[in-house]
A and B are shown apart, each in its own frame.
Chain A
Amino acid sequence: MERWNLVNKLIVLLLIIAVSYFGEVQPSPWMVLSLLAYIAVMLLAQLVHPPRLKLVLNAFAGYVLLLCMHSVNPVFILLLPLTLRDLLNGYLRSPYVLLSVMALPLLFLSELQLQLGYAFITAFFAFNGTYADLLQGKIRRQEEQLDKLRGTQERLMNRLHENEDFIRAAEYTYKLEERNRLSQELHDGVGHAMTGALIQMEAAKALLWKDEQAAEKLLQNAIGISQEAIEQIRLTLKNTKPPTQQLGIHRLKAVVEAFGSSSGLLTTVVHEGEIERISPLHWKVIHDNAAEALTNTAKYAGATAVHVEVRVLGKLVKAVVSDNGRGQAKIVKGLGLVGMEERAAAVNGTVIADGASGFSVTTLIPLSEMS
Chain B
Amino acid sequence: MNVLDIRGLTKKFGEFIAVDNMSLSVREGEIFGFLGSNGAGKSTTINLVASLLRPTSGEIRILERNIAKHRRFAKTNLGIVPQELAIYQDMTALENVIFFAGLYGLRGEELKERALEALQFVGLEDKEKSYPKNFSGGMKRRLNIACAIAHRPKLIIMDEPTVGIDPQSRNYILGSVRRLNEMGCTIIYTSHYMEEVEEICTRIAIVDHGKIIADGTKEQLIAAITDMKNITIELKKADPELAVTLKQIAGIRAISVSDNLITISSDLAVDNLGTILKLLIDSGSEIKALEEQAPNLETVFLTLTGRNLRD
| A interface residues with partner B (beta carbon < 8 Å) | 313-316, 318, 320, 322, 330-333, 350, 352-354, 356, 360, 362, 364, 366
Contact = CB atoms under 8 A, between A and B. Distances in A.
Contacts of B224: 313-316, 366
B208 A333 contact: no
Contacts of A320: 306
Interface residues of B, number: 20
Contact of A332 (B16, B211, B305): B16
B286 interface: no
Given A352-B208, A352-B213, A360 B227 contact: no
A366 B215 CA distance: 12
B306 A350 contact: no
A326 B235 CA distance: 48
B70 interface: no
A332 B14 CA distance: 10
B281 interface: no
Question: Most chain-B Cβ atoms within 10 A of its Cβ — which of A314, A315, A320, A353?
Answer: A314
Contacts of A352: 208-209, 211, 213, 304-305
B212 to A, nearest CB: 8
Contacts of B223: 314-315
A54 B205 CA distance: 62
A156 to B, nearest CB: 15
Contacts of B179: none
B226 A350 contact: no
Contacts of A356: 307, 311
A354 B225 contact: no
Contacts of B306: 320, 322, 354, 360, 362
Interface string B119-149: 0000000000000000000000000000000
B305 to A, nearest CB: 6
Interface in B177-233: 208-209, 211, 213-214, 222-227
14 contacts: A313-B303, A314-B222, A314-B223, A314-B226, A316-B224, A316-B225, A330-B15, A332-B15, A352-B208, A352-B211, A354-B209, A356-B311, A364-B213, A364-B304
B165 interface: no
Given A313-B303, A360-B306, A362-B306, A350 B16 contact: no
A314 B304 CA distance: 11
B227 A314 contact: yes
B103 interface: no
A313 B311 contact: no
B17 interface: yes
Contacts of B17: 331, 333
A322 B306 CA distance: 10
Contacts of A318: 303-304
Sorted from nearest, which 6 A-B pairs have the closest CB atoms?
A313-B225, A332-B15, A315-B224, A314-B226, A330-B16, A314-B225
A342 to B, nearest CB: 11
A350 B211 contact: yes
A332 B210 CA distance: 13
A264 B113 CA distance: 73
Contacts of A353: 209
B205 to A, nearest CB: 12
Nearest to A367: B224
Given A350-B213, A352-B211, A313 B16 contact: no
A322 B303 CA distance: 14
Nearest to B216: A315
Nearest to A355: B209
A316 B15 CA distance: 31
Contacts of B15: 330, 332
Contacts of A333: 17
Given A315-B224, A331-B209, A362 B311 contact: no
Contact of A354 (B16, B214, B222, B307): B307
B270 to A, nearest CB: 15
B151 to A, nearest CB: 37
